[in-house]
Amino acid sequence: MSFLRNRAGIILVGVIGLAIVAFLIGDAVRLGTPFWAAGQSEVGEVAGEKIDIESFKAKVEMNEANFRQQMGGNLNPQMSSYIIENTWNQTISEILVQKEVKRLGLEVGKTELNDMLFGKNPHPQVAQAFGNPQTGQFDKTQLNTFLNNLSAQPATDPIHKQWNDFLASIKRDRLFQKYVNLVQNSLYVTSLEAREDYNQRNRLANFSYVSLDYASLPDNKVTLTDADYQEYYNENKNRFKNKEESRSFEYVIFDASPSKADSAAIRSAMTKLASDFRSTTNDSLFVSVNAETKAPITYVKKGQLDPAIDSVAFNAAVGTVIGPVYSNNAFKIAKVLDVRMSPDSVKASHILINPAAEGGAAKAKAKGDSILNLIRSGSSFAQLASKYGTDASKDKGGDLGTFGRGAMIPAFEEAVFNGSTGDLKVVTTQFGVHVIRIDKQVGSSKVAKVAVVDKVVTSSNETQQAAYSKASSFLGSVDNAKNFDEKAESLKLNKLVAENVTASQSAVSGLDNPRELVRWAYEAEAGDVSEKVFELGNSYVVAKLTDVREKGTLPLEQVKKQIEGQVRNRVKARMLTEQLSKALSGASSIDQVAQKVGKKATPVQNVVFANPIIPGVSQENKVVGTVFGLAPRKLSKPIAGESGVYVVAVSSFSNPAPLTNTVNQKQQLSESLQQRAQGQVFEVLRDKAEIIDNRIRFF
């Protein structure tokens, strides 16, 4: 009992501690996520607001879909990275502006929202979504029809969420404009500022200078001390502010690109395939099975095929097999299926019938045949198109306008280009059943129907294995950073450098899609060698992390190499300033100063303060600034510029005519300020906000 009494406090604390841990673990088990893994589903945090990965991915996917719609084709890694980066910046801006808007009490009320939908000047997104396809103007009837249909749908229908998201989007855009307008309207240009800007752009200075270039002093004659570095660093600390973490690494590449033997093997295989191509009776199936690039077989004009095929196909007999030919890292064989004269363009009309609305493809085809018979019996094509058509052309009597080859899908194109003016046809495509009328055919030129089979030249297993073995052998012989350098040098490997790579970076020189390597760099510590060989396209890579630059002001040691040139010029400036100071002693003119240092004074005409460039030299802000603060015919003190140390003497100033009306000048300056404001306000908000970026975990 004495033992328990003496240690009761310790025991009680221990029991309570175990109970808390058990509670947390039990809670985590029930929720399915360990408490120590909190935040693992967060892609980042902006000003205290967390961004979960699912909502962020949804935004990325939506932006990718928009990008594909606008640009077409598949997205490569660089495009995907660009979209992710844009989505991230968009998300940051939305959060920061929303916080500012809330802080300022800005809102979009019901009346204002209604005006954005139905007012004289509807929101651009509304006008675009409910625009008349013929006039391009906002169609209020379309919007009302949509809203009436929406109200008839159950609340669980996804269309309600889409509409609410749309409304939130246009409200967010209006709040953004309000905020920007508030900032822009707070900017003001005074008459004094307008006159000063006018003078800076129009007052001319004529002067002469003597300069001693930094290059005139050999680098080996200059000794740099720690104090020199520290002085420069202290005066320029703002230049070393790292806005986001970056990492640098060195890497060696073991090339696994296709060898000559690989290329020869693929050529041999394509030669054999050409023989089979000649004898096949099903060209479409042959292409579908053997071609790497799956494309429909259609008629093409001269110049549209690969040059090596194009030069033969249009004069070859039907059935001729061309190739194999090598082009764009692939071997190709082609079979000429037909050569004929064909219209250059066609004007056509159609009535599109939707199989889904008709109860299936067979019923849609039967309806198309019935409509065709009505037209042949004298019924108006335009009226039938307006009545039965299901696409936008129905409002124009089915008129599709005039188009060339390649504008329509293959089956439709075959029907209109291979027919005659006045023909009526029923054609089925992936869009539905088309009742087609060929209204007019224009021009005539030779076209060819050519089936093409291609095989990209890729590395064989033997080539890849040989490169991988070399990379593995190198990695196995390396155990630290110093050893990495020694082994690379002994094997005469070209060591490449990737400097200041950011977490979201998608491109590294010489590497194909290096995201896996970048992720490793952000998990490693300086001096680490990669624990595995990275396979990046046709390359095997081994890397060493050399530097980690944290977000914030970089320490002197990390920028020492970067600023060495500027520090050396500063030391040279002190030495050259001493020479020019001696030359100034007792001198009364710029020519006397020049003579003492063995130089000639160089005259300069018509320099303005707003464009501080010395012709034939460089931009010299300090020098030109000194000129405009100097009295005529007075010698300046030595000026440490960008390319050397200068002494200047002003010959004369040419003043512009007095600015009598400042209105236009103020307006120009104000417009320039307002244009910059929109971008700069976000930079300020972003710099002030605490932003945590975890994207590298997920992308």
Q: What is the mean pLDDT of the segment spanning 209-232?
A: 95
Q: Are residues 484 and 519 in the same domain?
A: yes
- Domain enclosing residue 265, as ranges: 260-341
pLDDT the model gives residue 39:
57
Cα–Cα distance for residue pair 515/509, rounded to 1 Å: 13
Its pTM stands at 0.68
For 98-139, how does the pLDDT look when each residue is reduced to its tens digit (9 = 90+)? 999 999 999 999 999 999 999 988 999 998 888 876 677 888
pLDDT level of residue 373 (50, 70, 90 thresholds):
very high
Cα–Cα distance for residue pair 349/366, rounded to 1 Å: 19
Q: Are residues 401 and 426 in the same domain?
A: yes
Q: Are residues 291 and 375 in the same domain?
A: no
Is 614 domain-assigned? yes
pLDDT the model gives residue 133:
67
Q: Are residues 486 and 545 in the same domain?
A: yes
The one-character DSSP state at 347 is E
Cα–Cα distance for residue pair 684/101, rounded to 1 Å: 15
Q: Are residues 331 and 389 in the same domain?
A: no
Q: What is the mean pLDDT of the segment spanning 408-433?
A: 92
Per-residue exposure over 243-271, b if at least 16 CB sit within 10 Å of its own CB, e if not: eebbbbbbbbbbebebbeebbeebbeebe
Is 61 domain-assigned? no
* Average predicted confidence (pLDDT) for the chain: 90
pLDDT the model gives residue 8:
44
For 43-74, how does the pLDDT look when each residue is reduced to its tens digit (9 = 90+)? 999 999 999 999 999 999 989 888 887 777 77
Structure token pair of residue 106 = 């800005």
Of the residues 442, 477, 506, which one is the last residue of a structural domain?
Answer: 442
pLDDT at position 295 over 70? yes
Count of the separate structural domains present in the chain: 6
Percent residues over pLDDT 70 in the chain = 94
Maximal C-alpha separation, the chain: 115
pLDDT at position 416 over 80? yes
Cα–Cα distance for residue pair 211/573, rounded to 1 Å: 11
Helix or strand holding residue 543 (H, E): strand 539-549
pLDDT level of residue 5 (50, 70, 90 thresholds):
very low
Q: Are residues 431 and 497 in the same domain?
A: no
CA R_g for the chain: 37
pLDDT at position 4 over 60? no
Bond preceding residue 324 cis, omega within 30 of 0: yes
For 176-206, how does the pLDDT look when each residue is reduced to its tens digit (9 = 90+)? 999 999 999 999 999 999 999 999 999 999 9
Contacts of 177 (CB under 8 A, 6+ apart): none
Contacts of 401 (CB under 8 A, 6+ apart): 347
Per-residue exposure over 176-193, b if at least 16 CB sit within 10 Å of its own CB, e if not: bebbbeebbeeeebeeee
Better pLDDT: 467 or 392: 467
Question: Of 603, 610, 459, 606, nearest to 540 (Cα)?
Answer: 459
pLDDT at position 3 over 70? no
Q: Are residues 264 and 249 in the same domain?
A: no
